[in-house]
Amino acid sequence: MSLALFPLNTVLFPGCTLDLQLFEARYLDMIGRCMKKGEGFGVVCILDGQEVGLAPDGYAVIGCEALIRDFKQQDNGLLGIRVEGGRRFRVREADVQRDQLLVADVEWLEDLPERPLDEEDADLLALLEALAEHPMVASLDMGADAQGQQVLGNRLAYLLPFTDADKIELLQLDDPQQRLDAIQLLLDELQGELFP
């Protein structure tokens, strides 16, 4: 599967919302093609510097498909789009096209079936509900109505202030229970740093 890549300083997760402002011709063209074909593009996290997504080792090889949900001209004249995370993928190889757009051959990653939340997930669900009340999070329209472990894990991994490297590791996990366990460990580490 061939997928246009958009290297960014963020890690997108399935079911999560991301607002972008576009001004570079290569990305405006990419969005136009995606909208005509009804397809998405891939978001991969930049690991080194700002725009080294063009270097083979400058971005994460695990990414998330971005599906365009809305767009509008911003007050500053730039195109604003809202995307929602779709399927996870692994980059097999990538090439830079003449217009400097990065296009990759990707392998879609399979998610394990959604599992219902259980009692052990209550604290993490309460954390998501608290995050959802923040105005910046509320503006993303993601809600706190996590109906299963996959949704809960994806939203927490996306919203919490973990490092990009930690978020990439969370994105790689296929099992929702493993993702929730890893999030709890990261939260315990954060708490230990804040309150030694």
To the nearest whole number, what is the mean pLDDT of the chain? 86
Same domain for 26 and 123?
Answer: no
Mean pLDDT: which of 2-16, 42-56, 88-102 is highest?
A: 2-16
Tokens 């995606």 belong to 34
DSSP per residue over 171-185, as a string?
HH---HHHHHHHHHH
Same domain for 90 and 157?
Answer: no
Same domain for 13 and 67?
Answer: yes
- Between 49 and 17, name the one with better pLDDT: 17
Please return the burial class of 145, using the count of CB atoms within 10 Å of its CB with bins 0-12, 13-18 and 19+: exposed
Same domain for 103 and 184?
Answer: no
Same domain for 21 and 101?
Answer: yes
Q: Is 113 a member of any domain?
A: no
Beta carbons of 142 and 107 less than 8 angstroms apart: no
Q: Which two tokens stand for residue 81?
A: 């789009």
Same domain for 73 and 147?
Answer: no
CATH of the domain at 146: 1.20.58
Residue count (the chain): 196
Same domain for 98 and 130?
Answer: no
Same domain for 20 and 56?
Answer: yes
- Which range among 54-63, 92-101, 102-111, 153-162 shows the weakest confidence by mean pLDDT? 54-63
Counting the structural domains of the chain, the total is 2
Same domain for 103 and 157?
Answer: no
Same domain for 86 and 162?
Answer: no
Q: How many Cα atoms within 13 Å fall on the side-chain side of residue 81?
A: 19
Q: Which two tokens stand for residue 114?
A: 């959604």
Residue 77: its pLDDT value, please?
A: 75
User: What gap in Å lies between CA 36 and CA 96, rounded to an integer?
Assistant: 22
State the average pLDDT over residues 57-66. 87
Beta carbons of 146 and 117 less than 8 angstroms apart: yes
CATH of the domain at 93: 2.30.130.40
Residue 196: its pLDDT value, please?
A: 62
Residue 53: its pLDDT value, please?
A: 39
State the average pLDDT over residues 42-46. 92
For 39, the domain range is 2-108
Q: Is 114 a member of any domain?
A: no
User: For residue 195, what pLDDT band results from cuts at 50, 70 and 90?
Assistant: low
**Does the structure show a pLDDT above 90 at 147?**
no
**What pTM was estimated for this model as a whole?**
0.88
pLDDT tens digits for range 107-118: 999 988 889 898
